[in-house]
Amino acid sequence: MGNLENNLSSILSEIKAMDCPNGEPKIIAVSKKQSLEKIRALHALGIQNFAENFAQEAVERINQLDLKAVWHFIGNIQSNKTKLIANHFDWVHSITRYKIAERLNNQRKREGAMNVCIQVKLDENDARESVKPIEVRKLMDEMQNLEKIKLRGLMGISSPVSSLEEKNDHFRRLNQLYKELIIEGHEIDTLSMGMSDDYKIAIQNGSNMIRIGTSLFGNRDY
């Protein structure tokens, strides 16, 4: 598993050398489709946070691994999967509707609130389900009464077909929204943006949580 150690060391060195406006980012290892052996090895190297985006498959893997780890759900949330997600994950990065947040809240039986981020639309041409920036405050207000949901911040995905200039603009605007919300008094602390192909641009624009798959694990194990 030498490649895992080398990959992690390289990413950490890059981050140390960068200016991180919102603090050094937390690395979330995107473990979907990766072998249990690789996940265990990366955990042994000190990575505590892992992300999955298919609920049923993820729960089976979480149970098999039985690690002292923090599990993040980053995929699209189907209504019939909210109970599984609510009781096996610590974080959800992809809240796009009040209905989903409410179901997670009502179905969570685990102790402690679930940490969540609102997924914000960065590109009008992106078909992924997400919340338009102008609608974020409304959703935040609606979620205030959910006792088992702790809103931690915002998440954004820049389209893989976007140019570097477009990605930079997407992340800059999301960071601006994040800062505006804090100034307005919202108690949030997480800006989740940046993946293997654009995490350095995201960090430069204020990301303090990056979701890394291929750059850590190498190609997926299908």
Give the span between the Cα atoms of 213 and 191, in whole angstroms: 18
pLDDT tens digits along 16-28: 999 999 999 999 9
Helix or strand run (H / E) with residue 115 = strand 114-120
The pLDDT confidence band at residue 1, using thresholds 50, 70 and 90, is: low
Domain residue spans of the chain: 2-217
Contact indicator for 155, 92 with CB cutoff of 8 Å: no
- Is residue 222's pLDDT more than 60? no
The 10s digit of each residue's pLDDT in 139-186 is 999 999 999 999 999 999 988 778 899 999 999 999 999 999 999 999
Per-residue model confidence (pLDDT) at position 14: 94
Beta bridge mates, 49 = 70
Question: What percent of the chain is modeled with pLDDT above 70?
Answer: 98
pLDDT of residue 187: 95
- CATH class, domain 2-217, is alpha beta
- Mean pLDDT for 38-64 is 95
pLDDT tens-digit series, residues 111-138: 899 999 999 999 877 778 899 999 999 9
Give which of 209, 91, 104 is closest to 157, Cα–Cα: 209
| pLDDT tens-digit readout, 2-18 | 689 999 999 999 999 99
C-beta separation of 55 from 81 below 8 A: yes
Query: Do 156 and 174 meet the contact criterion of CB atoms below 8 Å apart?
Result: yes
> Which pTM value belongs to this model?
0.95
Distance, in Å, from the CA atom of 190 to the CA atom of 207, rounded to the nearest integer, reads 8
Which residue is it, tokens 């194990």? 221
Query: Residue 51 — pLDDT band, cuts 50, 70, 90?
Result: very high
Average pLDDT over residues 76-103: 96
Average pLDDT, the chain: 93
